[in-house]
């Protein structure tokens, strides 16, 4: 266990996100649950890393640690060279549910981060009908929702809401984008369409992305690197580069090297699954 | 004829029918005015006494609205407290329920003792009548806010106050307005109780005096005035409600593919 509060400046200089000897456990005594075993993970600025693994392996826990929603039991989480929480960095998040606020229009939902996150919040009143509005509309257009800004969330389909949710995650130009199975609840065709949109947006804006997913094809399509996790306690058991050139296409996912990659990941996850407990 | 107009017409016919039936039964059985006045009699009394009644109507309306306003302010404050803190929920709820169970007519003499007879006890009685439904509904709305909606804000490092303002309170609005419609009618009850017991103004007082003079048509005229005021305020809040919380009432709309 590391108890010193002074971080070593050597270890976290070249990476944008760094988890160093991090563990996380809930509860006390006999009921103590080790959600995350000793974990090390490093992300370069502008990288796109996917976390895959069986359910309950702590993938989402890593997202929450990096975005500062929860604090590590031991170890350090650094973002942009600082301990997480020390200095607010702009984080965008998209969840499996689009979680649009139903009393706002789609555009207002997309603009929500601008209302909350500095430095935009100070200018929100002055710019909400001008620059910020245009920025939200531009993003909505990019994901194919050009004329839906004035609609209410319940007037949109699940796929459309998830697009809007991506816009909301990106509108404040986050340095860090956390995607927690954002395409998990969608049908295959919508999902593939959104992969392409996500790839475009990432290429243009280049945030550092951490994607949690169950879909190995999705991980192979989108990520630069794929980390495979094991459950109870969650640890990263494999960390591999994805060598395919960008922009990637759906056709690519049927080529032998891609299939070989997803097969290998699948075997790793099956092997990592806890033997007795079925998911 | 469109369905909405038909609905309004049906309800108007029904209300009119109710009064016509009342009138007819009074004629049929020769019911005395002292027992149950005919609606026509009540209307005539109302029109004839209007100049004298008018200041009392204003007094009652004014008292009710002040009490209602205070009730809303305190109700929201307590509701936010109870709805957002587990401790406050555990501590305050038993107290609130106990307080809500007390018959308000028993509280009026205490208010009179403290503040003297007149307007203040009436305002306070109206206020305590409205608080409970508002607190319960605001607290329920806040406590049942989907954690996912709050996660959106927490991921942006929003403060608790920002989460309350941007997610908690808007989410609670449909509950809040539902409670307002109940509360506004209760506020009238509170005002009239207090005016009946200890005041020399207001519709409650008028009815009190009229009944001791066996002026039953005037008592019923007072009841009619109260009913009309209650319905009017209820209607006003319904209109505000549909404008503000339209997002929560969307049965007619269809989702797009």
Q: What is the pLDDT of residues A120-142, one digit of tens each?
A: 878 877 777 888 888 888 888 88
Render pLDDT for A23-62 as a digit per residue (tens, 0 to 9): 888 777 777 777 788 888 888 888 899 998 877 777 888 8
CB B152 within 8 Å of CB A69: no
Q: Which residue of B has its CA nearest to A155?
A: B255
Query: B53 is written with which tokens?
Result: 């009644």
- SS3 string, chain B, reads CCHHHHHHHHHHHHHHHHHHHHHHHHHHHCCCCCCCCCHHHHHHHHHHHHHHHHHHHHHHHHHHHHHHHHHHHHHHHHHHHHHHCHHHHHHHHHHHHHHHHCCHHHHHHHHHHHHCCCHHHHHHHHHHHHHHHHHHHHHHHHHCCCHHHHHHHHHCCCCHHHHHHHHHHHHHHHHHHHHHHHHHHHHHHHHHHHHHHCCCCCHHHHHHHHHHCCCHHHHHHHHHHHHHHHHHHHHHHHHHHHHHCHHHCCCCCCCCC
Are residues A99 and B155, on separate chains, in Cβ contact within 8 Å?
no
Closest partner CB to B256 (pick from A92, A155, A178): A155
At B158 the pLDDT is: 83
At B33 the pLDDT is: 82
At B212 the pLDDT is: 92
Per-residue DSSP letters for A143-201?
A: TT-TT-TTS-GGGS-HHHHHHHHHHHHHTT--SEEEEESTTTTS-HHHHHHHHHHHHHH
**Crossing angle between the packed helical segments A131-142 and A106-116, to the nearest 10 degrees:** 120
Neighbours of A195 (CB within 10 A): 20
Measured distance CA(A196)–CA(B239) in Å, rounded: 45
Which phi and psi angles does A48 have, rounded to 5°?
-130, 105
Closest partner CB to B148 (pick from A97, A156, A160): A97
**A33-43 and A17-26 strand pairing:** antiparallel
Measured distance CA(B194)–CA(B213) in Å, rounded: 20
At A155 the pLDDT is: 86
Residue B1 pLDDT grade (very low, low, confident, very high; cuts 50, 70, 90) = low
Spatial neighbors of A58 by CB under 8 A, at least 6 apart, are: A24, A35, A36, A39, A229, A231, A233, A234
Across A144-174, b (16+ Cβ under 10 Å) vs e yields ebeebbebbbebbeebbbbbbbbbbbbbbeb
CB pairs < 8 Å spanning A and B: 67
Percent of the residues in chain A that have a pLDDT greater than 90, as a whole number: 4
Q: Which residue of B has its CA nearest to A66?
A: B155
Distance from the A44 Cα atom to the nearest Cα atom in chain B, whole angstroms = 21
Torsion of CA B1, B7, B11, B13, to 10 degrees: 20
What residues of chain A score a pLDDT lower than 50?
A: 1-5, 7-12, 278-279
Closest partner CB to B156 (pick from A102, A117, A160): A117
Q: Which residue of A has its CA nearest to B247?
A: A103
Measured distance CA(A68)–CA(A74) in Å, rounded: 14
Query: B80 is written with which tokens?
Result: 């936010």
Residues of A in contact with B154 (CB under 8 A): 69
Measured distance CA(A60)–CA(A64) in Å, rounded: 6
CB B179 within 8 Å of CB B133: yes
Task: Report the SS3 class of residue A70.
Answer: coil
Which position has the token pair 């049942």?
A: B144
Question: What is the ipTM score, two decimals?
Answer: 0.73
**Crossing angle between the packed helical segments B104-115 and B169-197, to the nearest 10 degrees:** 70
Average pLDDT rounded to a whole number, residues B188-205: 89
Q: What's chain B's average pLDDT?
A: 88
Average pLDDT rounded to a whole number, residues B149-158: 82
CB A206 within 8 Å of CB A46: yes
Task: Report the SS3 class of residue A251.
Answer: helix
Which phi and psi angles does B245 have, rounded to 5°?
-110, 35
Percent of the residues in chain B that have a pLDDT greater than 90, as a whole number: 48
């Amino acid at each position: 266990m590391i108890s010193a509060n002074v971080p070593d400046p050597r270890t976290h200089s070249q990476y944008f996100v760094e988890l160093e000897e991090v563990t996380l456990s809930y509860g006390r005594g006999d009921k103590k649950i080790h959600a995350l075993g000793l974990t090390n993970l490093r992300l370069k600025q502008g990288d796109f890393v996917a976390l895959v693994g069986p359910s309950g392996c702590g993938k989402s826990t890593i997202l929450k640690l990096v975005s500062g929603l929860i604090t590590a039991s031991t170890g350090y989480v650094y973002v942009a060279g600082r301990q997480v929480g020390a200095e607010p960095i702009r984080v965008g998040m998209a969840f499996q549910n689009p979680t649009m606020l139903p009393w706002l229009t789609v555009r207002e939902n997309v603009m929500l981060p601008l209302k909350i996150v500095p430095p935009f919040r100070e200018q929100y009143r002055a710019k909400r009908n001008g620059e910020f509005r245009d920025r939200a509309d531009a993003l909505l257009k990019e994901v194919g929702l050009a004329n839906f800004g004035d609609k209410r969330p319940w007037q949109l389909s699940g796929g459309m809401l998830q697009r809007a949710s991506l816009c909301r995650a990106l509108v404040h130009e986050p340095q860090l984008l956390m995607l927690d199975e954002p395409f998990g609840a969608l049908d295959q065709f919508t999902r593939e369409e959104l992969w392409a949109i996500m790839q475009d947006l990432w290429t243009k804006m280049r945030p550092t992305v951490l994607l949690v997913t169950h879909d190995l094809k999705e991980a192979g399509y989108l990520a630069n690197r794929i980390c495979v996790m094991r459950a109870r306690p969650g640890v990263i058991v494999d960390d591999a580069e994805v060598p395919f050139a960008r922009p990637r296409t759906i056709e690519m996912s049927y080529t032998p090297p891609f299939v070989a990659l997803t097969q290998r990941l699948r075997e790793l996850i099956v092997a990592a699954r806890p033997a007795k407990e079925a998911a | 004829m469109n369905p909405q107009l038909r609905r309004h017409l049906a309800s108007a016919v029904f209300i009119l029918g109710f009064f016509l039936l009342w009138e007819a039964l009074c004629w049929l059985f020769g019911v005395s005015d002292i027992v149950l006045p005919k609606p026509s009699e009540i209307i005539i009394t109302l029109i004839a006494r209007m100049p004298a009644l008018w200041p009392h109507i204003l007094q009652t309306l004014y008292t009710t609205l002040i009490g209602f306003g205070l009730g809303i302010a305190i109700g929201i404050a307590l509701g936010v407290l109870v709805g957002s803190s587990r401790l406050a929920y555990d501590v305050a709820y038993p107290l609130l329920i106990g307080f809500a169970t007390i018959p308000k007519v028993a509280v009026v003499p205490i208010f009179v003792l403290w503040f003297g007879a007149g307007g203040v006890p009436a305002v306070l009685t109206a206020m305590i009548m409205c608080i409970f439904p508002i607190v319960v509904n605001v607290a329920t709305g806040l406590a049942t806010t989907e954690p996912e909606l709050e996660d959106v804000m927490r991921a942006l490092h929003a403060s608790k106050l920002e989460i309350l303002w941007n997610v908690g309170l808007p989410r609670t609005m449909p509950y809040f307005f539902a409670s307002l419609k109940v509360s506004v009618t209760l506020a009238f009850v509170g005002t009239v109780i207090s005016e009946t017991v200890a005041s020399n103004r207001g519709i409650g007082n008028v009815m009190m005096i009229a009944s001791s003079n066996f002026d039953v048509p005037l008592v019923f005229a007072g009841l009619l005035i109260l009913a009309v005021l209650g319905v009017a305020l209820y209607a006003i809040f319904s209109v505000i409600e549909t404008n503000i919380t339209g997002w929560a009432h969307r049965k007619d709309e269809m989702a797009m593919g």
